[in-house]
Chain A
Amino acid sequence: MIEFRDVSKRYPDGTVAVESFSFVVPSHETVVFVGSSGSGKTTLLRMVNRMVDPTSGTVLIDDQDVQQVDKVQLRRSIGYVLQGVGLLPHRTILDNVATVPMLRGVSRAHARKDALGLLDRVGLDRALATRYPSQLSGGQQQRVGVARALAADPNILLMDEPFGAVDPIVRAELQVELRRLQSELGKTTVFVTHDVDEAFKIGDRVVILSAGGRIEQADTPERIVAHPANDFVADFIGARSARRTLRVQDVDGREVVVDGDGRPVGMLAT
Chain B
Amino acid sequence: MTLVQGALDWLGDPANWRGLSGIQQRLVEHLAITGAVILVAALIALPLGILVGHTRRGRGTVVALTSGVRSIPTLGLLTILALNLGIGLTAPVLALIVLAIPPLLAGAYAGIESVSVDAVDASRGIGMTEWQLVRAVEVPLALPVIVGGLRSATLQVVATATLAAYVADAGLGRFLFSGLKQRQYSEMLGGAILVATLALVLETALALMQRVLTTVPPDTGRP
The chain A residues found within 8 Å of chain B, CB to CB, are 46, 49, 51, 72-77, 80, 82, 84-90, 99-100, 103-104, 130, 132, 134-135, 145, 148-149
Contacts and interface: CB of A to CB of B under 8 A. Distances in A.
B126 interface: yes
Interface in B171-223: 215-217, 219-220, 222
B21 to A, nearest CB: 48
Nearest to A104: B127
Contacts of A148: 126
B217 A132 contact: yes
Interface residues of chain B: helix, strand, loop or mixed (majority)? helix
Interface stretch (B28-36, B67-75, B101-109, B115-123): B115-123
B125 A103 contact: no
Chain A CB within 10 Å, residue with most, of B119, B120, B222:
B119
Given A85-B118, A86-B116, A80 B125 contact: yes
Interface string B104-143: 0000000000001111111111111100100011001100
Interface centre among A51, A103, A148, by most B CB within 10 Å? A103
Of residues A51, A86, A99, A135, which shows the largest number of chain B Cβ atoms within 10 Å of its Cβ?
A86
A136 to B, nearest CB: 11
Contacts, number: 77
Contact of B126 (A89, A99, A135): A99
A87 B121 CA distance: 10
A86 B136 CA distance: 14
A87 B216 CA distance: 12
A134 B219 contact: yes
Interface string B40-69: 000000000000000000000000000000
Nearest to A135: B219
17 contacts: A49-B125, A51-B124, A51-B125, A73-B127, A82-B118, A86-B121, A86-B122, A88-B119, A89-B116, A99-B126, A100-B127, A103-B127, A103-B128, A134-B217, A135-B217, A145-B122, A148-B126
B95 to A, nearest CB: 37
Interface of B: 116-129, 132, 136-137, 140-141, 215-217, 219-220, 222
A82 B219 contact: no
Contact of A90 (B118, B126, B141): B141
Contact of B127 (A72, A85, A130, A145): A72
The 5 A-B pairs at the shortest CB distance, nearest first, are namely A86-B122, A84-B118, A76-B127, A75-B127, A86-B118
B222 A103 contact: no
B126 A100 contact: yes
A158 B141 CA distance: 27
Contacts of B127: 72-77, 100, 103-104
Contacts of A46: 125
A217 to B, nearest CB: 29
Contacts of A84: 117-118, 121-122
A72 B125 contact: no
B139 to A, nearest CB: 11
Nearest to A83: B118
Given A72-B127, A90-B141, A100-B127, A85 B216 contact: no
